Amino acid sequence: MKPFRFSILYKDGINYLIPFILITSCFALWGFANDITNPMVKAFSKIFRMSVTGGALVQVAFYGGYFAMAFPAAVFIRKFSYKAGVLLGLGLYTIGALLFFPAKMTGSYYPFLIAYFILTCGLSFLETSCNPYILSMGTEETATRRLNLAQSFNPMGALVGMFVAMNFIQARLNPLDTAGRAKLSDADFVAMRDSDLSVLIAPYLFIGIVIAVMFFVIYFVKMPKNSDKSDEINFLPTIKRIFSVPLYREGVLAQFFYVGAQIMCWTFIIQYGTRLFMSQGMNEKSAEILSQKYNIIAMAIFCCSRFICTYFLKYIKPGLLLTILAVAAMFLTLGVVCFQNMTGMYCLVAVSACMSLMFPTIYGIALTGMGDDAKFGAAGLIMAILGGSILPPLQARIIDMNTIWNMPAVNISYIVPLVCFVMVTIYGIRTCRNI
């Protein structure tokens, strides 16, 4: 049957359906990696008898990989091809996931951080490659619709990651709480640690095998030769040029704070809920699992809100919608700080509705009018994911104080994402004036 001429996956007589499906699956795969990792801050803290700050090093390693590889990925793709970038990303993802087994054998925390870093170097290559690759699989007129369709699978993968973390890791870890583990003898601690690490690494080893299969499928399947090749890469002049544009420069900063806020809201909801539910008489393990259920609800709201907000973009300018969402997030986060009951938890869950469209909206606004420079500009915005590495440890340090001003420190800690949303609001207001 002749392909439908106006299909979003049809161009110049070529049907891109199979390549689109394969590359779109990568969106779900890095969504899985992102959101199975957030609960691991609490898990590692318990397993290795560390502070929340120590556990938050997981996020430092995870999002540090994004930062380190964003521009190298852009240069690599420009020199070779999108397919090459995807394959390298999948390869590093596979290696990082499978390194969890030797990390477990060491019985040490820091090899896991190395594994996370390598894994997310792969994710950085994937995000830098897949987004423009999807854009190229059809006509320019349908590019936005095509990318939105592909991106809708990212939070679906994230939901699966959260579900796996709750049911196959958190629910299967030894129920002994952190205080009880601190009293164990060295031999008992080692036995419990190794048992819990075996539980923790299993999903990562499984996904590593899945990614390896994906690598070979994409390698052997004929893919479009669309690329970002350029015989001349004027790296430094391009960087100077794009960062001279205020809308872009401020957009990178806004993205830094947004990603930090997102990671903090989704990571430390475990600590927030655990304190809240334990104050109601629940044991630590049950409180952690229930907190993760609320995290899953937050992600489901995030997914639904993305579609709703995308519809509103037909009628509301992106900068104005961004401002509205950021202001709402500010007030909800203030509720998270002030309320010490379920109202605070409801506010924390509701923040996800406001965050749903922030990343792509900031992304799109920052690249407005950049032309060919958008190729490197996109890498700069991926580097801004570093906010997810730098800001969570700051919040974790506050949480470790336990009590501040006669209030739970975990509540006060949400002042950090509150400040982040203030910065996003400022960017939204400035874009309303300039666009």
CATH number of 233-435: 1.20.1250.20
* β-pair type (407-408, 403-404): antiparallel
Alpha carbon distance 435, 425 (integer Å): 15
Alpha carbon distance 417, 272 (integer Å): 14
* pLDDT value at 6 more than 50: no
Q: Which amino acid is at 305?
A: S
Q: In 3D, which of 151, 153, 161, 159 has the Cα closest to residue 363?
A: 151
Other Cβ atoms less than 10 A from the Cβ of 390: the count is: 16
* pLDDT value at 381 more than 80: yes
Q: Which two tokens stand for residue 13?
A: 């007589």
Q: What pLDDT score does 4 carry?
A: 44
Alpha carbon distance 192, 175 (integer Å): 10
**Architecture of the CATH domain 8-224:** Up-down Bundle (1.20)
Q: Which helix or strand (DSSP H or E) is residue 10 part of?
A: strand 10-11
- In eight-state DSSP terms, residue 404 is E
* pLDDT value at 229 more than 60: no
Alpha carbon distance 206, 58 (integer Å): 20
Chain-centre distance of CA 223, in angstroms?
Answer: 27
Residue with the larger pLDDT of the pair 19 and 417: 417
The arithmetic mean of pLDDT across residues 267-273, rounded, is 91
9-23, 172-186, 253-267: which range is least confident on average? 9-23
- Give 276's contacts (C-beta < 8 A, 6+ positions apart): 287, 340, 341, 342, 344, 345
Alpha carbon distance 409, 119 (integer Å): 32
33-42, 131-140, 417-426: which range is least confident on average? 131-140
Contact criterion met (CB below 8 Å) for 122 and 93: yes
According to the per-residue pLDDT averaged within each range, which of 5-9, 37-41, 215-219 is highest? 215-219
Contact criterion met (CB below 8 Å) for 81 and 225: yes
- The pLDDT confidence band at residue 206, using thresholds 50, 70 and 90, is very high
Q: What pLDDT score does 3 carry?
A: 45
Q: What pLDDT score does 369 carry?
A: 72
Spans of all domains in the chain: 8-224, 233-435
State the first-to-last Cα distance of the chain, in angstroms, to the nearest integer: 45
The arithmetic mean of pLDDT across residues 277-295, rounded, is 90
- The pLDDT confidence band at residue 230, using thresholds 50, 70 and 90, is low
Tell me the chain's radius of gyration from C-alpha atoms.
22
| Residue 74, Ramachandran bin (φ over 0: left; ψ between -120 and 50: alpha; else beta) | alpha
| Same topology between domain 8-224 and domain 233-435 | yes
Q: What pLDDT score does 93 carry?
A: 96
Dmax (CA) for the chain in angstroms is: 71
**To 10 degrees, the CA torsion angle through 371, 377, 379, 385?**
-140
Q: What pLDDT score does 2 carry?
A: 45
Alpha carbon distance 73, 76 (integer Å): 5
* pLDDT value at 1 more than 50: no
- The pLDDT confidence band at residue 253, using thresholds 50, 70 and 90, is very high
The arithmetic mean of pLDDT across residues 320-347, rounded, is 95
Other Cβ atoms less than 10 A from the Cβ of 306: the count is: 21
* β-pair type (14-15, 10-11): antiparallel
Outline where DSSP puts E strands in 359-433.
403-404, 407-408
The arithmetic mean of pLDDT across residues 244-258, rounded, is 90
Alpha carbon distance 324, 322 (integer Å): 6
- Give 20's contacts (C-beta < 8 A, 6+ positions apart): 9, 134, 137, 146, 150
Q: Exposed/middle/buried for 89, CB within 10 Å: 0-12, 13-18, 19+? A: buried
Per residue in 72-84, pLDDT tens?
888 888 788 889 9
- The pLDDT confidence band at residue 371, using thresholds 50, 70 and 90, is low
* pLDDT value at 107 more than 60: yes
Q: What pLDDT score does 5 carry?
A: 46
Q: In 3D, which of 263, 294, 274 has the Cα closest to residue 42?
A: 274
Q: Which two tokens stand for residue 366?
A: 């920052």
Average pLDDT over the chain reads 86
How large is the angle between the packed helices 374-383 and 246-267, nearest 10 degrees?
30
Alpha carbon distance 407, 177 (integer Å): 22
Contact criterion met (CB below 8 Å) for 270 and 291: yes
Outline where DSSP puts E strands in 285-421.
403-404, 407-408
Q: Which two tokens stand for residue 410?
A: 């975990």
